[in-house]
Amino acid sequence: MNVSSLRLTNRFEIPFAYDVCFGQQVFAAGNPLLATELARVFATRLPVPTLVLLDAGLAAARPGLADQITAYAAAHAEVIDLRGKPVLFPGGEAAKDGMDVCLQAVAAMRQAGLCRQSCVLAIGGGAFQDAMGLAAALFHRGVRVVRLPSTVLAQNDSGVGVKNGVNLGGVKNLLGTFAPPALVINDLALLDALADRDWIAGSAEAFKVALIRDADFVRWLVANAGEIPRRNQAVMAELVARCASLHVQHIASAGDPFEYGSARPLDFGHWSAHKLESLTSFALRHGEAVAIGLALDLCYAVRLGFVPEAEATAVIAALHRAGLPVWSEWMLAEEAGQRVILTGIEEFREHLGGALHVTFPHPIGSKQEVGELHPSGMLAAIADLDRLRQRLESEA
């Protein structure tokens, strides 16, 4: 055998599939949804060894939740082999601040005696899901995760996707992996515990995905924006379901679920959002930063000729009616004679692997990738947005 010219090609495909189920009061004693779905997903290993990781913020908002989960597992012992009481970890951006919380979750999995055939049941918001998902992906090279997202943002976006990650050195999601969940269950009743700010913030991702994929959904959002801060539950339920559906469709049909390519359409509005989050030390919620990023990029899209000014104005006004911010004073901040927000363009280029591909609506409801953002044009778009937000504030 002439090994000097030998070439071995290892090519294989692994089909991924997971369901996103919707329900109410999932841990109510008589609700079979969770037990039925776990029995289906883990059919070859029942009862499935299960560790519950619980967002401490959610536990504080729902004091009886941990006991309810324990009682539910006991009532369905033929399916769930609960390994101890639910373990609480910080939620929000604190969960993603470096690797500390992630590694603590790994330690909890080891103490619970989990293996690759076990189940991690992660119950909490989007940042919590990101950190717990990364921990599960690292443990034994991957233990299956069942997500129960507890915020609007997690139920309609991050919790139904395939990304996990934590921040490091002030860089958003610097460490992470793509690891699809085994199952997602959206318990709409969990949203009732949200503070108004979090209820509103999560709706930004619905505007985002609608603007690049579904013009009819954009029209629905514009018409119903005022109902979001009024906590209209029917409106929020439809918003979450339609947004989650579009995210799932994109991941399944865009041909790049693990983002090996340079274009990331679902990051529309995110180049400045990520920068605003870090500039404010994450005082801005992710959804709030995204809303500002959407407003700015809509103004830039008008200057590109992609979107009529009247349509962009209508969407930005709807964001404002929904209670979302469309402006931050950080848009005007300068350092060493340079507008600080514009440094987010190069940081986003690095995030994308060196080539800039930014998604814009063209027209609303469809998308086009742009390979360069011109600072002069973006500064003009910032000025346009500043004038518009002043008008919206004066009319409020």
In tens, the pLDDT along 159-217 reads: 998 899 999 987 778 899 999 999 999 999 999 999 999 999 999 999 999 999 999 99
Q: Is the pLDDT of residue 361 over 80?
A: yes
Q: Which of 71, 141, 156, 74 is nearest to 106 (CA)?
A: 141
Interval 362-375 mean pLDDT: 93
Question: Which domains does the chain show, CATH number per domain?
Answer: 20-193 (3.40.50.1970), 196-395 (1.20.1090.10)
Q: Is the pLDDT of residue 349 over 80?
A: no
Distance, in Å, from the CA atom of 335 to the CA atom of 326, rounded to the nearest integer, reads: 22
| Tens-place pLDDT, residues 14-65 | 888 999 999 999 999 899 999 999 999 999 999 999 999 999 999 999 999 9
Q: Identify the pLDDT of residue 172.
A: 78
Interval 272-292 mean pLDDT: 93
Q: Identify the pLDDT of residue 2.
A: 77
- What does the mean pLDDT of the chain come to? 93
Q: Identify the pLDDT of residue 137.
A: 97
Interval 363-378 mean pLDDT: 93
Share of the chain above pLDDT 90, in %: 80
Q: Is the pLDDT of residue 254 over 80?
A: no
Q: Identify the pLDDT of residue 355.
A: 76
| Tens-place pLDDT, residues 66-108 | 999 999 999 999 999 999 999 999 999 899 999 999 999 999 9
Q: Is the pLDDT of residue 260 over 70?
A: no
**171-175, 200-204, 343-347, 357-361: which is most confident:** 200-204
Distance, in Å, from the CA atom of 143 to the CA atom of 241, rounded to the nearest integer, reads: 27
